[in-house]
Amino acid sequence: MRKTILLAAVCGLFLPLLKVSAQDKIDFGKQIYPFIKSGCVQCHRPEHENPERPGRKIKPKGGYVMTNAESLLAAATEDGVKFIAPGKPDDSRILQVVKLPLEDDHHYPPEGKAPQWTDAEKELFAKWVAEGANFGEWKEDPDPLTLPTWDGKEKEPGTTETAP
């Protein structure tokens, strides 16, 4: 009898914890990739045909592709700074560049070219990197050349863009 009570008490204590941590886990494909796609992919997608000049290719800017997990994890600057350093948001170049002042040459996306990440998005990205940069089921954007349309307006500061 006592054992049963103890077991019930232990379950009562730990089950809710498990539930909370499962809910808190960030889903890369649903919660992070949408603002990489809208903010970065226009310039950082695989090499493709230039629709305005047939026969000519458009290369990813700087050679950096941000449409699949493998390239995102492999990408590093010439100085060896990783785009994503799992567990270390401050050492992750992606987060460094989005946080630089708008007028800095290394700030991305360049002002007016794509929607800026909101503070909530920067925070979410930092949390995802801190948690180990787990891509979960997500391997790649199935349609990396199709971009979301942008009306030129920035998002509300506290919001994050998410996939349905």
Applying CB under 6 A, does 109 fall inside the site for ligand HEC?
A: yes
Determine the 3-state secondary structure of 35 from DSSP: helix
Tell me if 108 sits within 8 A of 115, measured CB to CB: no
Give start and end residues of each alpha helix (H) in 25-146.
33-39, 69-74, 93-99, 119-130
State which of residues 32, 33, 40, 89 lies at the interface with ligand HEC (CB under 6 A): 40
Distance CA 49, CA 33 (A): 24
Applying CB under 6 A, does 83 fall inside the site for ligand HEC?
A: yes
Number of residues that bind ligand HEC (CB under 6 A): 21
Applying CB under 6 A, does 97 fall inside the site for ligand HEC?
A: yes
- Interface residue list for ligand HEC (CB under 6 A): 39-40, 42-44, 61-62, 64, 77, 83, 93-94, 97-98, 106, 108-110, 113-114, 117
